[in-house]
Structure 1
């Protein structure tokens, strides 16, 4: 069990909370951090000589890092002024957890940001906040997400006004620290099969929360092991029957369950709390396990937006079926996937910055009797790192679009937008986090032995980020959701219609499909043609459409032979490839759109270069598919390979400018080999020279 919070810490917390209630959170940024930084959301004025954001006149910087300066700058400057709150290279688990909590308190109590207000009123700024704190430490980003996106988000999105009135301010100011208790030891992604129960007791007007068996233990619950005082518990709502028919299971609902005393911080009666212990990464987050032994909570603690129970035990819902209620409940939690996709891009930006700056600095070999050359001048290093840099930019614009769609969804509640955000967030979260996980290892290897030094951060970034592939839904499960959505649209369009209609769909969805597959076009290999965004998009869409059509036909045939479940399983790899192809198409579409809307000539040429490299590298990586379908002739395939290598060379010439545009200051990046200057001297200083 966690030990109670010390008296001095409780006093400090109460003073800080009181100051927030009295409006003292609106502190002077000048007095707070020594710079004239505005916290109100307006553009801030910074000293021109300050090295942190001195690239802000650069158009690339404005497009990539400058969009949310009003959120990023106060956080980054605060941690510059408080190096004692920046993570050391070596730290014990318990120390890391306490430091992460102190960092979160500083963001709310000292910088004066209001994350839950941002989440509910301006989600784009909330996700910008999570990216900035993730650069400080990924554990801090996850800790913030647990408190506000998961615990706070579940209360405001699944509850009603009575819950907002009772909990909002307390969650906002960290007076009520909470958990999100969905995952169980025996069930993770299959939320509908959760086993924890919440049985209504009409006599006392209470729900009884119970863990019926070991497999129903809530597991990996962030904030539970040490700091959490409340939990949003997902449990099966059970209504006892007065007759002989037996109890009625109304499906999974969410309940607010206090787990620790607000006075002593001791676990409450009936609540067992255990520490999940040291993890591969993210050890600043106190993951715990929870069991409930007939814990009673008031009926009002049911988060009742989509389902309610009256005092008489009568269930009511604005949605007609259990499946619709379940879908609506999970749909409201999609913001977690949006945040993980955007946060993963932030990790990729940091890793790419470190690896590329070091590759520009490090010299190795060269022509006889001439100076050594930068290792980024070697084609092998370019083809290793620079398509990754292009992908980083591509993912940035794609997740920007996802955030915009999420904001639109929250404003309009439009069914079509909700469906789009659900599928897109699942796909982008899965695709981007998987790509980033692989790229972190590539960056480490590209920096040789120095990449293995803990101080250069690839190890911690890799370990901390790895779980992003599992958070908020396992990536394999999420990609299946994307494929299911595509197949659903396909079925709607072609149910009971002739096979020729399917081919018309393929033609229509690719625009110029018929002209693209004639022998003249399949052999075209000129640079102008290959760098034409119309060719690139047509190629991506063609691949997706063919995969969708063949998947639909295979499933139809196999379902007749084996049933729907076995048919899906037999086509699973096909379906995962379909989902990835679709997401890559969306990413390219948004990258091309970003290039077209850029109004600075130099920045636009840089973005076009990166966009072409992203598109052609992805085509080359799957060239077998295009060759097998006679979409690309042999001479054209060779031309694509040569052009990818040429584009890598062109990107190398502006690589420093491109990573600088990410706007990650040296004191936040911290890896000595990835700093803007004095890399070797800083690295030597680390070991005592």
Structure 2
């Protein structure tokens, strides 16, 4: 009887779907016919107007209003003052051809000039207004990426470690000297044999109760501190991460208290010579960022006062007793690294700034450059070619999406620094890891695409793609290797997934899992899987549901696989067996967050023209990403074949529409020509070739 009922239900569903297909076909034909008869008629789209189609007039963009909205509260006078300062100082502008040693000295002059002449006080902004600090960081990175990194080493890393890992006595002693560049310093965490696995570092800091000092030692060559910015030439101090070793009265003789941070002077304040026991070597010429003096440090029984332990999370008394508010080595280590998350926030935000410069240059040149065309007619711009639109227009859309997502990251980071809310701390840690990994990887690939999109002229050093690509490449590695960071995101999602089914609470960033997990894990609706109307495909709810459905499916399936494999391979082996799956999960989740913040930005935009423009770009970002992973949606019948085809066609159409306003979109980034500094990327495109030929000597 039960089988008979199931059979009847299946037949009814089949008849319903067939009927739906017929009705949907008729509806589509009527809709298309009505659009031919009345091309100005626009379908309803949930309160957000659809952009006019290709047959209609070009969208009007209020570039001034769009630019103001893009700036938000992070592009204020302080950023313009940085641009103006360097524009007025031609002697501080980095030439195209410069040696490593000259570049390092120029970079130091740029940073000291910015602080002492321009009046910028980065460390104060780190404390009082992090958003202003990151705005400056983006601006100086546009001037010279080496300068941006050197500033980050001085203030985010060296200064940030003193502020965040130390206590009042350290801030009182070092704050002014760090802020005014009197105390240039380093951040000595990475070792020759240990990078991402910080808990595995081997440098030792052994307490000597007789002299009340720590003895810093490099026990073997593998423990040499490596790639330490500011160490090779300019640094006078270093925050050294080492294992804190205390003497004991038991048979072991010593006790390892885990990784802690120590302030270690490395050069004499007057003579600038290396201090006794400190060996400094130059890491040499690099692929990029040669304005940063990366060095290697070895310590041979270097003695420092007990007060040089940065003791916020753990302290040692005069008699050698250890105290901490945190009960375990792992908790202390997590708290220590958690306070250093600002570096990742800065890299994600700065990477978007690099992407903006590359996109500006590539789009402007593609509008300028003409090649081929219909017989006996003028040549057309290379951006009129569909293949070129396919290269660059989704990139423009992604740049806008990344812009709003990283602004959100700055917001919650600033709030976290003010409130120290535990939930926000977790959110910032996970989101900064994910956005840093995703955005920097995307920018690295896009720099090569932009170079290719500009043909031979993109290969000229004066047009900057080479230096941008080389300088930015390491963004994928430092402050956490991208593959490792994505695993952290995946691990956090799995933790949330487990808590969801144990009745626990979920944090703010991932709250869509709490709200919608059950519906996302349900079987796809066979009716909506076939909907292909433009109003449906451009509905933010459909787009966000699609992104989150994919993430939820990946999360559910990888949780199942990990549980299965752990029974035979153990936890580590199971994780390694599922590693590619985990990385895909993390990327999918970060894309969901980016889209959610993009949609929020569209809906919050007060200017109607700018809102319509952003809606167009947001739709392209969403549908392009869905199309790129269409196989996943097809495999689970989330998208039927007709709908997949409609998504592809609409994505190509949106690329064309974005092309029509591409100039306005990149102009809205509001970067002056003296910042982008590429002859082929001038805002007044008619001047580009003349400037380019002048550079060559004509």
Above 0.5 in TM-score? yes
Distance 1:136 1:249 in 2: 45
1:169-226 deviation digits (Å, cap 9, x = unpaired): 0000000000000000000000000000000000000000000000000000000000
Q: Which runs of 5+ in 2 are unaligned?
A: 1-60, 505-511
Matched, 1:213 2:227: no
What is the CA–CA distance in structure 1 between the aligned matches of 2:403 and 2:644, rounded to whole Å?
28
Does the 8 A contact of 2:521 with 2:549 survive in 1?
no
Matched, 1:349 2:388: no
Other-structure match for 2:488:
481
Q: Are 2:209 and 1:202 aligned? A: yes
What CA distance in whole angstroms lies between the structure 2 residues aligned with 1:193 and 1:514?
39
Is the 8 Å Cα contact of residues 96 and 461 (structure 2) preserved in structure 1?
yes
TM alignment of 1:31-180, pairs within 5 A: 58-65=64-71, 67=73, 68-180=75-187
Cross-structure match for 1:263: 270
Give yes or no for contact 1:56–1:62 (8 Å, CA) kept in 2.
Answer: no
Contact 2:404 2:597 (8 Å CA) reproduced = yes
1:646 is aligned to 2:653: yes
Q: 1:581 aligns with which of 588, 604, 608?
A: 588
Question: Aligned partners of 1:379 and 1:159: how far apart in 2?
Answer: 56
Whole-Å separation in 1 of the counterparts to 2:250 and 2:633:
65
> Match for 1:679 among 681, 688, 691?
688
Q: Does residue 308 of the first structure (1) align with residue 315 of the second (2)?
A: yes
Preserved contact between residue 516 and residue 522 of structure 1 (Cα < 8 Å)? no
Q: Return the match for 1:631 from 627, 638, 642.
A: 638
Quote the Cα distance in structure 2 between the aligned partners of 1:661 and 1:76: 17
Correspondence for 2:281: 274
Shift of 1:520: 1.4
Structure 1 pair 241–297 and aligned structure 2 pair: CA distance change class (3 A): same
User: Does the Cα contact within 8 Å between 2:367 and 2:381 map onto a contact in 1?
Assistant: yes
Deviations 1:48-100 (A, max 9, x none): xxxxxxx9981111122363221211010111111121111111000100111
Q: Equivalent residue for 1:544? A: 551
CA, structure 1 residues 56+517, in 2 after alignment: closer, same or farther (shift >3 Å)?
closer
Quote the residue 1:32 is aligned against. Answer: none
CA contact (8 A) 2:153 2:230 kept: yes
On the 8 A contact 1:541/1:585 being kept in 2, the answer is yes
Give the 5 Å matches for 1:215-230.
215-230=222-237
1:426 positional shift: 0.3
Task: Provide the C-alpha distance between the structure 2 equivalents of 1:358 and 1:175, rounded to a whole number of angstroms.
Answer: 44
> For structure 1, which segment, 74-83 or 134-143, has the greater mean C-alpha deviation from structure 2 after superposition?
74-83
1:151·1:178 contact (CA, 8 Å) conserved in 2? yes
Aligned to 1:563, the other structure's residue is in SS state helix
Are 2:521 and 2:553, in contact at CA under 8 Å, matched by a contact in 1?
no
- Residue equivalent to 1:435: 442
Q: Using the alignment, how far apart are the partners of 2:238 and 2:360 within structure 1?
A: 38
Q: Flag the 1:643–1:560 CA change in 2: closer, same or farther, 3 A.
A: same
Tell me, what secondary structure is at the counterpart of 1:286?
coil
User: 8 Å contact 1:189–1:473 — kept in the other structure?
Assistant: yes
Cα distance in 2 between the residues matched to 1:101 and 1:674: 28
**Relative to 1, partners in 2 of residues 1:56 and 1:120: Cα closer, same or farther, differing over 3 Å?**
farther
- Report whether the alignment pairs 1:534 with 2:547: no
1: distance between equivalents of 2:486 and 2:521? 29
Q: Which residue is 2:408 aligned to?
A: 401
Matched residues in 1 for 2:521 and 2:568: separation? Answer: 34
> What does residue range 377-526 of structure 1 map to in structure 2 within 5 Å?
377-495=384-502, 508-509=515-516, 513=520, 517-526=524-533
1:556 to 563, 576, 594: 563
Q: SS of the residue aligned with 1:249? A: strand
Distance 1:215 1:461 in 2: 32
Alignment of 1:563-642 (within 5 A): 563-642=570-649
> What's the CA shift for 1:242?
2.8
CA-to-partner distance for each residue in 1:666-687, whole Å, 9 max, x for gaps? 1111110001121000000001
- Which SS does the other structure have where 1:162 is aligned? helix
TM-score by length of 1: 0.90
Number of aligned residue pairs: 628
Measured in 2, the distance between the counterparts of 1:368 and 1:71 equals 52
TM-score, normalised with respect to structure 2: 0.88
The RMSD of aligned alpha carbons is 1.6
Distance 1:218 1:59 in 2: 49
CA–CA separation in structure 1 for the residues paired with 2:379 and 2:523: 46
Question: Deviation per CA, 1:537-591, whole angstroms, max 9, x where unpaired?
Answer: 0000000000000111111111111100000000000000000000000000000
CA distance in 2, matches of 1:248, 1:348: 48
Structure 2 residue 370 is matched with structure 1 residue 363: yes
Partners in 2 of 1:302 and 1:507 — Cα distance? 42
The Cα offsets for residues 113-139 of structure 1, whole Å up to 9 and x where unpaired, read as: 100000111001111110000000100
Q: Distance in 1 between matches of 2:514 and 2:404?
A: 28
Paired position in structure 2 for 1:298: 305
Q: Distance in 1 between matches of 2:62 and 2:643?
A: 41
Whether the 8 Å contact between 2:362 and 2:450 is mirrored in structure 1 is yes
Q: Deviations over 1:143-169 (max 9, x none)?
A: 000000000000010000000000000
